[in-house]
Amino acid sequence: MVGHAIALEDREARNNCAKSIISVMGNLNPHLRDVPDFQHKLWDQLFIISDFNLDVDSPYPMPSREELAERPEPLDYPQNFPKYRFYGNNIKRMIDVAISWEDGDKKDGLVITIANHMKKCFLNWNKDTVEDDVIFKHLFELSDGKINLQGSEEGLSDSLQLMKTKQRFTKQPSNKGKSNNSGNKGNRNRKRY
């Protein structure tokens, strides 16, 4: 269709043919009609398909070949190299928020929650148990000495309990090859209606 439109000599016939092609392209993708600048994208696609050889009166400016071939500038990703990578980058942000809060029950609760989360993250990387003192020391270092739970009476959640919540989402081993002595015979001898 685009080749036929390019081959037409009469400009008005070419314009009518281009509008027909745009109409067909719109009908082929009706789910995209709610997208902003849908018509503009269709006209750009028409020019790209014609290899920029179609000379028609477009309601939008024709894109240039150089503009489309131009490579975008690379994105600058944040380069943080945290001291304890197994906690992740968000822990530092959470600690900064906790430091900015006024002293009180809410801040204490947030600090304990952060410490429990740090313990869970530690256990994700190191499957052994971890002492609360290690987490408190790391929290002290990451907060630049502003949060000190060392010598605190409050303990963190038990390592086994934190690991249990993780195991809740893992797949349980199947009973293939084992006999089912529980008296449940599955659907056998079940009355079907």
Q: What is the pLDDT of residues 25-56, one digit of tens each?
A: 888 888 877 777 888 888 998 999 998 888 89
Could you give the CA distance from residue 91 to residue 142 in angstroms, rounded to a whole number? 9
Question: Where exactly are the structural domains of the chain?
Answer: 2-69, 85-167
pTM over 0.75: no
Q: Are 159 and 130 in contact (CB under 8 A)?
A: yes
DSSP 120-164: HHHHHH--S---HHHHHHHHHHHTTTS---TT-SPPPPPHHHHHH
pLDDT at 183 over 70: no
Q: What percent of the chain is helix, strand and coil (3-state, nearest 5)?
A: 50, 0, 50
